[in-house]
């Protein structure tokens, strides 16, 4: 969708200032423009993908003051004075990926790429506490974002892999991304990448607690 202004139907506009990927942005927007359309059309942040526009699929997930929200369910004007992060905030450079993005590449935690920015952002959010997560925990954490390609397993692996990278980085030297040492990233996890038969760890029926 676009937000091209139309004087007769989009008469009500507001000027908003917000922080997007670390930069202050000021724009006039129609009050009915969704946050997702604003990010995509006005700011060219096309990583915010529109999968359903009714708040279920989660492909438009962004971090809003550090917490994941569905940008299709918010109006742009609601973001006034707040901070929004899209996947470009991790890295917008294909040749210099953030450790979380690298983990997704290593584990093939993506196929078509449409849910991927949302999954990466959600991974950043949940990994912020530095705690190791079980397979079932990660599944629950990412269950608000639908992926139709991967069957989720490689995404779970990618999130866990990223967690290990980040915690190693936090204990290591200075790095280019969020204090993560680049030395900890290079060549990581190659031994796992070849072991396709490894038991992924059934820690109970998916998404539920073991009965009995």
Partner 1 sequence: MTATQEPTAVTHGGTKPAYKYIGSDRKRVEDPRLLVGRGGYVADMKMQGLLHAAILRSPLPHARIASIDTSGAEAIPGVIAVLTGEDCKAHMNPCMNFGPSTISQYPIAVDKVRYVGECVAVVVAESRYVAEDGIEALEVEFDELPAVTNPHAALEPDAALLHDEHGSNLGYERTFEFGDITKALDDAHLVVSDTLHWGRSAGMPMETSGAIARPGTNGVLEVYCNSLNFSYLQFLVAGALRIPSNKLKMQPVAAGGSFGSKFTAHKVPTLAAFLALRTGRPVSYVEDRLDHLMNSDHHASDRYYEARMGFTEDGMITGLDVDVVDDYGAYLQFGVGTHGNALSQATGPYRFRDLRYKLRAALTNKCQQGAYRGFGSEVHNWVLERLVEQGAKKLGLAPEEIRRRNFIQPEEFPYKIPGGNVYDSGNYPEVLDRALSMIDVEHWRREKKRLREEEGRYIGLGIATTQERSVFSSTEFWFWFDEPAFPITSSPESATITIDPAGQFQLLLHCQAMWGNSPETVSTTVLAEEFGVEPESVNVSYADTSRALPGTGPGGSRYTVMVAGAVRGASRKLKKKLIDIAAHSLEVSADDLELVDGRVQVVGAPERSLGIPDLAASAYFFALNLPPGMESGLEEAYTYDHPYTTLPSADRSDLGVFYPIMGHACHIAVMEVDPDTGRCSFLDYVAVHDAGTVVNPKSLGGHVTGGSAQGLGTSLYEELAYDTEGQFNSATFLDYLVPSANEVPPFRIGHVETPSPYTEYGIKGGGEGGRMVTPSVVSAAVDDALAEYGMHVQELPVRPATIVETVQDAIDARQ
Map the footprint of partner 1 across residues 96-125, applying CB under 8 A: 97, 101, 104-106, 108, 110-117, 120
Which of 35, 71, 88, 99 is the binder for partner 1 (CB under 8 A)?
88
Residue span binding partner 1 (CB under 8 A) among the ranges 14-22, 75-83, 161-169, 199-207: 199-207
# residues contacting partner 1 (CB under 8 A): 82
Q: Is 22 in the site for partner 1 (CB under 8 A)?
A: no
Q: Is 87 in the site for partner 1 (CB under 8 A)?
A: yes
Q: What is the CA radius of gyration of the chain?
A: 19
Residue span binding partner 1 (CB under 8 A) among the ranges 14-22, 81-89, 168-176, 179-187: 81-89
Q: Which residues pair with 25 in a beta bridge?
A: 18
| Footprint on residues 165-194 left by partner 1 (CB under 8 A) | 193-194
Q: Is 59 in the site for partner 1 (CB under 8 A)?
A: yes
Q: Is 126 in the site for partner 1 (CB under 8 A)?
A: no
Q: Is 199 in the site for partner 1 (CB under 8 A)?
A: yes
86-111 in b/e burial notation, b at 16+ Cβ within 10 A? bbbbbbeeeeebbbbbbbbebbebbe
Q: Where are the beta strands (DSSP E) in the chain?
A: 13-20, 23-30, 61-64, 67-70, 83-85
Q: Which residues pair with 13 in a beta bridge?
A: 30
Q: Where are the beta strands (DSSP E) in 37-104?
A: 61-64, 67-70, 83-85
Minimum distance from CB of 135 to partner 1 (Å)?
6
Minimum distance from CB of 147 to partner 1 (Å)?
7
DSSP for residue 38: I
Q: Is 52 in the site for partner 1 (CB under 8 A)?
A: yes
Determine contact, residues 39/21, Cβ cutoff 8 Å.
Answer: no
């Amino acid at each position: 969708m676009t937000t091209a202004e139309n004087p007769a139907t989009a008469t009500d506009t507001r000027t908003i200032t917000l922080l997007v990927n670390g930069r202050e942005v000021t724009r006039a927007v129609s009050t009915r423009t969704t946050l997702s359309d604003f990010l995509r059309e006005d700011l060219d942040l096309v990583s915010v993908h529109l999968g359903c526009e009714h708040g279920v699929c989660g492909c438009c997930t962004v971090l809003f003051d550090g917490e994941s929200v569905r940008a299709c369910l918010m109006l742009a004007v609601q973001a006034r004075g707040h901070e929004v992060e899209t996947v470009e905030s991790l890295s917008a450079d294909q040749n210099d990926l953030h450790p979380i993005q690298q983990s997704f590449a290593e584990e093939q935690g993506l196929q078509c790429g449409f849910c991927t920015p949302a999954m990466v952002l959600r991974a950043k959010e949940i990994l912020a506490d530095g705690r190791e997560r079980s397979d079932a925990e990660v599944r629950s954490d990412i269950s608000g974002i639908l992926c139709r390609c991967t069957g989720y397993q490689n995404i779970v692996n990618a999130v866990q892999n990223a967690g290990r990278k980040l915690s190693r980085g936090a204990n290591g030297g200075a790095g280019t991304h969020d204090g993560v040492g680049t030395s900890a990233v290079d060549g990581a996890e190659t031994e796992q990448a070849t072991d396709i038969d490894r038991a992924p760890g059934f820690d109970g029926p998916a998404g539920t607690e073991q009965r009995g």
